[in-house]
Amino acid sequence: MTPKMILPPKGMFVQGGQDDPLPYYYRPLISHLFTQRINSGLQLLRPPYDVILDVGYGSGILLPTLGQYGKMVMGVDRDTEPEVVMKSLESYSIVCKLFKSDIATVPIQEESVDLAVAFSVFEEVHDLESALKGVYRLLKPGGEFLVGVPRVDSIMSFLFRLVGYTNIDDEHVRTYHTIFKCIQNQFKMRQKAFGRFPSFFPESACLYYTSVFVK
């Protein structure tokens, strides 16, 4: 069965910060856009995995989905308190461990992760090389790295403003082209592991891009 996002009931999770997109997952029409961008990446996976790491877990909304495809789920986030998310996860039967930390210094054993997942994270990271080295350190040899990145240009900035994001130009500092190129300095892109949303659009017109890389 193709992996697909499980959207938790509204109100179960708490917004991780002012810029956390949690509310948009429950708005009419916009909800579809937010969930399908995630699905465009999840469909590239080949579960099951032993240990999955969510890089930038935010509100934790993706953790129940990842828990369906891994024996253990871990998460790292610089802003969200783990205790808040763990309380939201109480009704789910998943083994989970969360860290409030930077990915470069998070206290997780080296080469212990089978799959790392990062949706809408690296377009906001200034020190990308350091972050990628952190992921590389944690992945097992042959481990997979799923990355999702939004389109970054004036058109996308306009669309973000329509849904309420007013300072997106200050946050999104890298395009998917530059991010994927930088990742390939340390990882290999898995064959036939590139996704986009909407999938029926030409690549240059899509809103979101995903790919799986291998250590």
pTM of the model: 0.92
Long-range CB contacts for residues 150-157, cutoff 8 Å, separation at least 24: 150/37, 150/120, 150/123, 150/176, 150/207, 150/208, 150/209, 151/175, 151/176, 151/206, 151/207, 151/208, 151/209, 152/123, 152/176, 156/207
Q: What is the pLDDT of residue 170?
A: 62
Q: What is the pLDDT of residue 201?
A: 93
DSSP 205: G
Q: Is 108 helix (H, G, I), strand (E, B) or coil?
A: coil
Q: Are 92 and 12 in contact (CB under 8 A)?
A: no
Q: What is the pLDDT of residue 156?
A: 66
Q: What is the pLDDT of residue 173?
A: 64
**What structural domains and CATH numbers belong to the chain?**
22-31+48-200 (3.40.50.150)
Q: Could you tell me the two tokens for 67?
A: 């828990």
Strand partners, 97: 74
User: Taking Cα atoms as reference points, which of 36, 24, 18, 165 lies closest to residue 10?
Assistant: 24
DSSP 36: H
Q: What is the pLDDT along the chain (215 residues), one digit of tens a residue?
A: 789 999 999 999 999 887 788 999 999 888 999 999 999 999 999 999 999 999 999 999 999 999 999 999 999 999 999 999 999 999 999 999 999 999 999 999 999 999 999 999 998 888 999 999 999 999 999 999 999 999 877 666 676 677 676 666 566 668 889 999 999 999 999 988 899 999 999 999 999 999 999 99
